[in-house]
Amino acid sequence: MSNYADSSGNGNGVLLRAEHLTKLYPDGQVNALIDVSLEIHRGEYLAVMGPSGSGKSTLLNMLGALDRPTSGETYFEGRPMSHIPNWNRLRAQKIGFVFQSFYLLPVLSAMENVQVPMFESPLPASARARRAVELLEEVGLGHRIHHSPEKLSVGERQRVAIARALANDPVILLADEPTGNLDSKSALGVFDLFASLHRQQGMTIVLITHDDELGRRAERIVRMQDGQIRSDTPSPGPRVAAGTPPCESPVEAPAGLHIRPGVSSHRPKSILPPFAVPDRG
Protein backbone atom coordinates (compact mmCIF):
# COMPACT_ATOMS: atom_id res chain seq x y z
CA MET A 1 0.00 0.00 0.00
CA SER A 2 2.92 2.26 0.62
CA ASN A 3 3.55 2.28 -3.10
CA TYR A 4 0.65 4.63 -3.57
CA ALA A 5 1.25 8.26 -3.14
CA ASP A 6 -2.42 8.82 -2.58
CA SER A 7 -4.11 5.81 -1.15
CA SER A 8 -7.53 7.41 -1.33
CA GLY A 9 -7.22 7.56 -5.06
CA ASN A 10 -8.78 10.99 -5.16
CA GLY A 11 -7.12 13.71 -7.09
CA ASN A 12 -3.50 13.25 -7.95
CA GLY A 13 -4.61 12.08 -11.38
CA VAL A 14 -5.26 8.51 -10.35
CA LEU A 15 -8.03 7.21 -12.55
CA LEU A 16 -7.98 3.50 -11.82
CA ARG A 17 -6.38 1.66 -8.99
CA ALA A 18 -6.43 -2.09 -8.60
CA GLU A 19 -5.55 -3.47 -5.19
CA HIS A 20 -4.62 -7.09 -4.68
CA LEU A 21 -6.91 -8.37 -7.41
CA THR A 22 -7.30 -12.13 -7.50
CA LYS A 23 -9.59 -13.94 -9.85
CA LEU A 24 -10.30 -17.62 -9.63
CA TYR A 25 -12.42 -19.28 -12.25
CA PRO A 26 -14.61 -22.03 -10.86
CA ASP A 27 -13.81 -24.32 -13.77
CA GLY A 28 -10.58 -26.07 -12.82
CA GLN A 29 -9.73 -23.52 -10.14
CA VAL A 30 -7.30 -21.78 -12.44
CA ASN A 31 -5.90 -18.65 -10.91
CA ALA A 32 -6.43 -16.18 -13.68
CA LEU A 33 -5.13 -13.32 -11.63
CA ILE A 34 -3.06 -13.48 -8.46
CA ASP A 35 -2.76 -10.50 -6.15
CA VAL A 36 -2.38 -7.88 -8.86
CA SER A 37 -2.06 -4.26 -7.88
CA LEU A 38 -1.83 -1.50 -10.44
CA GLU A 39 -2.40 2.21 -10.65
CA ILE A 40 -3.38 4.02 -13.83
CA HIS A 41 -3.26 7.79 -14.02
CA ARG A 42 -5.34 10.06 -16.13
CA GLY A 43 -3.80 10.58 -19.52
CA GLU A 44 -1.60 7.55 -19.30
CA TYR A 45 -0.92 5.28 -22.27
CA LEU A 46 -0.23 1.81 -21.03
CA ALA A 47 0.41 -1.47 -22.83
CA VAL A 48 -0.21 -4.77 -21.09
CA MET A 49 1.88 -7.52 -22.59
CA GLY A 50 2.42 -11.16 -21.90
CA PRO A 51 1.84 -14.64 -23.24
CA SER A 52 -1.61 -16.16 -23.73
CA GLY A 53 -3.23 -17.12 -20.48
CA SER A 54 -1.11 -14.71 -18.49
CA GLY A 55 -4.21 -12.92 -17.21
CA LYS A 56 -4.09 -9.81 -19.40
CA SER A 57 -7.70 -10.02 -20.55
CA THR A 58 -8.90 -10.93 -17.08
CA LEU A 59 -7.19 -7.84 -15.72
CA LEU A 60 -8.72 -5.71 -18.46
CA ASN A 61 -12.17 -7.08 -17.63
CA MET A 62 -11.71 -6.11 -13.98
CA LEU A 63 -10.51 -2.62 -14.91
CA GLY A 64 -13.37 -2.20 -17.36
CA ALA A 65 -16.16 -3.15 -14.95
CA LEU A 66 -16.96 -6.24 -16.95
CA ASP A 67 -16.12 -8.80 -14.30
CA ARG A 68 -15.79 -8.94 -10.54
CA PRO A 69 -12.62 -10.11 -8.82
CA THR A 70 -12.73 -13.04 -6.42
CA SER A 71 -10.91 -10.81 -3.96
CA GLY A 72 -9.35 -7.39 -3.99
CA GLU A 73 -10.80 -4.09 -5.04
CA THR A 74 -10.65 -1.75 -7.98
CA TYR A 75 -11.11 1.97 -7.48
CA PHE A 76 -12.52 3.99 -10.35
CA GLU A 77 -11.93 7.70 -9.89
CA GLY A 78 -11.40 6.93 -6.22
CA ARG A 79 -14.64 5.00 -5.75
CA PRO A 80 -14.44 1.32 -4.93
CA MET A 81 -16.14 -0.51 -7.78
CA SER A 82 -17.80 -2.92 -5.39
CA HIS A 83 -19.72 0.11 -4.09
CA ILE A 84 -20.80 1.31 -7.50
CA PRO A 85 -24.27 -0.17 -8.02
CA ASN A 86 -24.63 0.45 -11.72
CA TRP A 87 -21.71 -0.84 -13.73
CA ASN A 88 -23.69 -0.49 -16.92
CA ARG A 89 -23.76 3.24 -16.50
CA LEU A 90 -20.10 3.28 -15.57
CA ARG A 91 -19.24 1.40 -18.73
CA ALA A 92 -21.59 3.49 -20.85
CA GLN A 93 -20.35 6.84 -19.61
CA LYS A 94 -16.74 6.38 -18.64
CA ILE A 95 -15.22 3.44 -20.48
CA GLY A 96 -14.66 2.77 -24.15
CA PHE A 97 -13.92 -0.77 -25.30
CA VAL A 98 -12.05 -1.85 -28.40
CA PHE A 99 -11.99 -5.55 -29.26
CA GLN A 100 -9.67 -7.67 -31.34
CA SER A 101 -12.44 -8.69 -33.73
CA PHE A 102 -14.01 -5.20 -33.87
CA TYR A 103 -17.50 -6.58 -33.28
CA LEU A 104 -19.24 -4.09 -35.49
CA LEU A 105 -22.84 -4.88 -36.25
CA PRO A 106 -22.85 -6.04 -39.88
CA VAL A 107 -26.25 -4.57 -40.74
CA LEU A 108 -25.34 -1.09 -39.68
CA SER A 109 -23.27 1.49 -41.54
CA ALA A 110 -20.11 2.89 -39.97
CA MET A 111 -22.05 5.90 -38.77
CA GLU A 112 -24.83 3.78 -37.27
CA ASN A 113 -22.35 1.50 -35.53
CA VAL A 114 -20.80 4.49 -33.81
CA GLN A 115 -24.25 5.51 -32.59
CA VAL A 116 -25.05 2.20 -30.90
CA PRO A 117 -23.54 3.08 -27.48
CA MET A 118 -25.19 6.49 -27.66
CA PHE A 119 -28.63 4.94 -27.14
CA GLU A 120 -27.63 4.99 -23.50
CA SER A 121 -26.89 8.71 -23.61
CA PRO A 122 -29.49 11.46 -23.33
CA LEU A 123 -28.57 12.84 -26.77
CA PRO A 124 -31.41 13.15 -29.27
CA ALA A 125 -31.16 11.20 -32.53
CA SER A 126 -29.95 14.15 -34.59
CA ALA A 127 -27.17 14.94 -32.12
CA ARG A 128 -26.16 11.27 -32.03
CA ALA A 129 -25.82 11.26 -35.80
CA ARG A 130 -23.81 14.48 -35.77
CA ARG A 131 -21.47 13.17 -33.12
CA ALA A 132 -20.99 9.91 -35.02
CA VAL A 133 -19.91 11.85 -38.12
CA GLU A 134 -17.52 13.97 -36.07
CA LEU A 135 -15.98 10.90 -34.48
CA LEU A 136 -15.57 9.15 -37.81
CA GLU A 137 -13.90 12.24 -39.18
CA GLU A 138 -11.64 12.23 -36.17
CA VAL A 139 -10.51 8.68 -36.87
CA GLY A 140 -10.02 9.51 -40.53
CA LEU A 141 -13.15 7.91 -41.94
CA GLY A 142 -15.18 11.00 -42.72
CA HIS A 143 -15.47 9.82 -46.30
CA ARG A 144 -16.82 6.39 -45.41
CA ILE A 145 -19.58 7.08 -42.93
CA HIS A 146 -22.27 5.27 -44.90
CA HIS A 147 -20.21 2.18 -45.69
CA SER A 148 -21.17 -1.09 -44.09
CA PRO A 149 -18.39 -2.92 -42.23
CA GLU A 150 -17.98 -5.49 -44.97
CA LYS A 151 -17.12 -2.73 -47.44
CA LEU A 152 -14.37 -1.43 -45.18
CA SER A 153 -10.84 -2.74 -44.84
CA VAL A 154 -9.97 -4.41 -41.53
CA GLY A 155 -8.01 -1.36 -40.49
CA GLU A 156 -10.95 0.87 -41.26
CA ARG A 157 -13.25 -1.41 -39.31
CA GLN A 158 -11.09 -1.10 -36.24
CA ARG A 159 -11.16 2.67 -36.67
CA VAL A 160 -14.95 2.56 -36.70
CA ALA A 161 -14.79 0.44 -33.54
CA ILE A 162 -12.51 3.03 -31.94
CA ALA A 163 -14.93 5.80 -32.92
CA ARG A 164 -17.68 3.71 -31.34
CA ALA A 165 -15.62 3.35 -28.17
CA LEU A 166 -15.32 7.14 -28.06
CA ALA A 167 -19.03 7.70 -28.64
CA ASN A 168 -20.03 8.55 -25.10
CA ASP A 169 -16.89 10.55 -24.42
CA PRO A 170 -15.23 8.06 -22.06
CA VAL A 171 -12.38 8.85 -19.69
CA ILE A 172 -10.50 5.68 -20.59
CA LEU A 173 -10.10 3.44 -23.61
CA LEU A 174 -9.54 -0.26 -22.98
CA ALA A 175 -8.37 -2.23 -25.98
CA ASP A 176 -7.95 -5.99 -26.01
CA GLU A 177 -5.52 -6.94 -28.77
CA PRO A 178 -6.85 -4.20 -31.03
CA THR A 179 -4.40 -5.06 -33.78
CA GLY A 180 -4.52 -8.84 -33.42
CA ASN A 181 -6.54 -9.22 -36.61
CA LEU A 182 -4.81 -6.52 -38.60
CA ASP A 183 -2.00 -6.58 -41.12
CA SER A 184 1.09 -4.73 -39.99
CA LYS A 185 0.35 -1.56 -41.94
CA SER A 186 -3.20 -1.28 -40.58
CA ALA A 187 -1.92 -2.16 -37.12
CA LEU A 188 0.54 0.67 -37.27
CA GLY A 189 -2.23 3.01 -38.39
CA VAL A 190 -4.40 1.99 -35.47
CA PHE A 191 -1.55 2.46 -33.04
CA ASP A 192 -0.91 5.87 -34.51
CA LEU A 193 -4.54 6.66 -33.92
CA PHE A 194 -4.28 5.61 -30.29
CA ALA A 195 -1.14 7.72 -29.97
CA SER A 196 -2.82 10.76 -31.43
CA LEU A 197 -5.87 10.33 -29.18
CA HIS A 198 -3.51 10.14 -26.26
CA ARG A 199 -1.41 13.07 -27.34
CA GLN A 200 -4.10 15.40 -28.59
CA GLN A 201 -6.95 14.64 -26.23
CA GLY A 202 -5.06 13.30 -23.26
CA MET A 203 -7.07 10.10 -23.49
CA THR A 204 -6.15 7.43 -20.99
CA ILE A 205 -5.48 4.23 -22.90
CA VAL A 206 -4.84 0.70 -21.69
CA LEU A 207 -4.22 -1.80 -24.41
CA ILE A 208 -3.26 -5.41 -24.57
CA THR A 209 -0.93 -6.45 -27.31
CA HIS A 210 1.23 -9.35 -28.29
CA ASP A 211 3.29 -7.22 -30.58
CA ASP A 212 6.41 -6.11 -28.83
CA GLU A 213 7.15 -3.40 -31.35
CA LEU A 214 3.68 -1.91 -31.10
CA GLY A 215 3.66 -2.22 -27.33
CA ARG A 216 6.76 -0.07 -27.20
CA ARG A 217 4.76 2.79 -28.64
CA ALA A 218 2.92 3.11 -25.35
CA GLU A 219 4.38 5.13 -22.49
CA ARG A 220 4.43 2.32 -20.03
CA ILE A 221 4.59 -1.41 -20.38
CA VAL A 222 3.17 -3.86 -17.89
CA ARG A 223 4.29 -7.42 -18.48
CA MET A 224 2.26 -10.26 -17.08
CA GLN A 225 2.87 -13.94 -16.63
CA ASP A 226 0.90 -16.62 -14.81
CA GLY A 227 -1.64 -14.15 -13.52
CA GLN A 228 0.90 -11.82 -12.02
CA ILE A 229 2.62 -8.63 -13.02
CA ARG A 230 6.23 -9.43 -13.77
CA SER A 231 7.36 -5.97 -14.69
CA ASP A 232 5.98 -2.45 -14.91
CA THR A 233 8.32 -0.15 -16.76
CA PRO A 234 8.37 3.00 -18.81
CA SER A 235 8.39 2.11 -22.48
CA PRO A 236 11.77 2.33 -24.16
CA GLY A 237 9.91 3.83 -27.13
CA PRO A 238 9.68 2.56 -30.69
CA ARG A 239 12.90 1.15 -31.98
CA VAL A 240 12.98 3.01 -35.28
CA ALA A 241 10.97 6.13 -34.75
CA ALA A 242 12.63 7.23 -31.56
CA GLY A 243 15.98 5.81 -32.40
CA THR A 244 16.29 3.90 -29.17
CA PRO A 245 18.63 0.92 -29.05
CA PRO A 246 16.98 -2.27 -30.28
CA CYS A 247 17.70 -4.09 -27.09
CA GLU A 248 15.06 -4.02 -24.45
CA SER A 249 16.09 -3.36 -20.88
CA PRO A 250 13.04 -3.47 -18.71
CA VAL A 251 13.51 -1.92 -15.37
CA GLU A 252 11.95 -4.07 -12.74
CA ALA A 253 9.63 -1.86 -10.82
CA PRO A 254 7.08 -2.40 -8.14
CA ALA A 255 3.52 -2.66 -9.28
CA GLY A 256 1.95 0.73 -9.14
CA LEU A 257 4.83 2.69 -10.51
CA HIS A 258 3.52 5.02 -13.06
CA ILE A 259 4.47 7.53 -15.61
CA ARG A 260 2.74 10.84 -15.33
CA PRO A 261 0.87 11.90 -18.45
CA GLY A 262 2.86 14.11 -20.68
CA VAL A 263 6.18 13.49 -19.01
CA SER A 264 7.29 10.57 -21.12
CA SER A 265 10.14 11.37 -23.38
CA HIS A 266 9.39 8.26 -25.41
CA ARG A 267 6.16 9.43 -26.83
CA PRO A 268 5.84 8.10 -30.36
CA LYS A 269 5.98 10.71 -33.02
CA SER A 270 3.08 9.24 -34.89
CA ILE A 271 1.11 10.77 -37.66
CA LEU A 272 -2.05 9.55 -39.28
CA PRO A 273 -1.21 7.48 -42.33
CA PRO A 274 -2.32 8.94 -45.68
CA PHE A 275 -5.50 6.85 -45.96
CA ALA A 276 -6.69 8.16 -42.67
CA VAL A 277 -6.82 11.78 -43.75
CA PRO A 278 -10.44 12.79 -43.33
CA ASP A 279 -12.20 13.57 -46.52
CA ARG A 280 -14.09 16.68 -45.71
CA GLY A 281 -15.23 17.32 -49.24
Residues engaged in binding another protein (CB under 8 A)? 57, 61, 64, 66-67, 88-89, 91-93, 95-97, 99-101, 103, 105-108, 111-112, 115-117, 119-120, 125, 128-129, 164-165, 168, 176-177
CB of 112 to another protein, least distance (A): 5
CB of 69 to another protein, least distance (A): 12
Report the candidate in 181, 175, 182, 177 with the shortest Cα–Cα distance to residue 198: 175
CB of 80 to another protein, least distance (A): 20
- If residue 125 lies in a helix (H) or strand (E), which one and from where to where? helix 125-138
Measured CA to CA, the distance from residue 28 to residue 32 in angstroms comes to: 11
DSSP code per residue over 216-269: TTSSEEEEEETTEEEEEEE----TTTT---SS--PPP--TT----TT--S----
Give whichever of 15 and 32 is closer to another protein, judged by the CB atom: 32
CA quadruple 65, 68, 18, 248: dihedral sign: negative
> Is 19:75 a contact under the CB 8 Å cutoff?
yes
What are the angstrom distances between the C-alpha of 63 and each of 81, 94, 183, 207? 9, 12, 28, 11
Give whichever of 210 and 239 is closer to another protein, judged by the CB atom: 210
Give whichever of 108 and 257 is closer to another protein, judged by the CB atom: 108
The letter for the amino acid at 70 is T
Give whichever of 165 and 218 is closer to another protein, judged by the CB atom: 165
CB of 41 to another protein, least distance (A): 23
CB of 248 to another protein, least distance (A): 27
Give whichever of 10 and 101 is closer to another protein, judged by the CB atom: 101
